[in-house]
Amino acid sequence: MSISRKSVVVIGGGSGSSVALRGLKAYDLDLTAIVTMFDSGGSTGILREEFGYPSLGDLRQCLLALSPDDNQQIAALNSALGFRFDSESSLRGHSVGNLVLAALTTVFHGVQGAIDEMSRMMQLEGQVVPVTLGHAHLCARLVNGQVIRTESAIDLRGSNGPGISEVYLDSKVSANERALAAIKSADAILLGPGDLYTSIIPNLLVEEISDAIRDSGAPVFYACNLMTKLGETAGYGVSTFASEIVRYIGGRKLDYLLVNTVQFPEQVISNYAAENAAPVELDNGDAEKFAHNIVLSDLAAVDGLKVRHHSARLAGTLMSVIDAPIARTLGTGIA
């Protein structure tokens, strides 16, 4: 009797989800990337504000991440789609992939049709699904009551200042039915990695999405951030990151909280300190309030003076739990 492939849903934004997807596609899985549609910066922001297109940049990154690595023709296409015009060009830093998606959105009368066509061209190993087909802007209310409107304004605050009290959407949107179907049939749900307030939580502001995650019988994983971020998560420890995720999924306790244990070189820490950022530390005991299992593992890769999650190690850690649920404490570093 054949055993059906496990379905894994990754929920987040562009760069963080891309890291997870590149690692997970090495396994025999049905992969779905559910992607935030509230980005408003860079090329995406220009296309959104000037022409009314939906947010395309995070979709593009996830499409590229799920494309096959061993096809030379696809690799050439990916190189072209990833090309970005320089700032002196009249195209002002636009990504070719964003422009192609914009054109396909017009030709196929909607962003989902555009994604489906690009997925076919790129021979995708999985599917990329917008969290919503509606339009809204992300807003943040600070602890002093001030409101910051749009994702790019939140992302590029430029100073710590008052902390974020809550994030919300400026208009109600409905969940994409494909996203809901993927969550309901998932064998595992991975939130992150990615910026807490501008990549991960925006998906959870779509009410049906957070409800579906809360009610899912599948284990929910959260890949905690490696570094704090100026203006968003300064001073946050692992427990604060986890508590915010739990807050926005209706109080459901995480099944697995994935926490990096690797120590970064002093040069890397100093480089981040210059940006008022620091490694995210595991709080003594507090994180257990928000997760049934805390998985401690070497999840980071250092690239020069920057750090990011390591695709293969992140995927391997998740798969070790999915494939061996009975031996959850063996070889995983679970606290």
pLDDT per residue over 317-329, tens digit each? 999 998 865 333 3
pLDDT for the residue numbered 10: 98
pLDDT along the chain (335 residues), means of 10: 79 94 96 92 70 82 90 73 71 76 89 93 93 95 94 80 93 97 97 96 98 97 96 94 97 97 94 94 87 96 94 96 55 40
Q: 143: burial class by Cβ within 10 Å (0-12, 13-18, 19+)?
A: exposed
The neighbour count for residue 319, using CB atoms within 10 Å, is 18
Residues 259, 273 contacting (CB under 8 angstroms):
no
d(CA 82, CA 95) in angstroms, rounded, equals 6
Instruction: Name which of 200, 291, 274 is nearest 238 in CA terms.
Output: 291
pTM of the model: 0.91
Cα 223 from chain centroid? 10
Q: Specify the long-range contacts of residues 87-95, CB closer than 8 Å, at least 24 apart.
A: 92/43, 92/46, 93/42, 93/43, 94/43, 94/46, 94/47, 95/43, 95/57, 95/60
pLDDT per residue over 147-201, tens digit each? 999 988 898 876 767 899 999 999 999 999 999 999 999 999 999 999 999 999 9
pLDDT for the residue numbered 197: 96
pLDDT for the residue numbered 2: 44
pLDDT for the residue numbered 155: 84
Instruction: Report the side by side order of strands in the sheet with 164-169.
Output: 147-149, 138-142, 164-169
pLDDT for the residue numbered 264: 95
pLDDT per residue over 99-122, tens digit each? 888 889 889 889 999 999 999 999
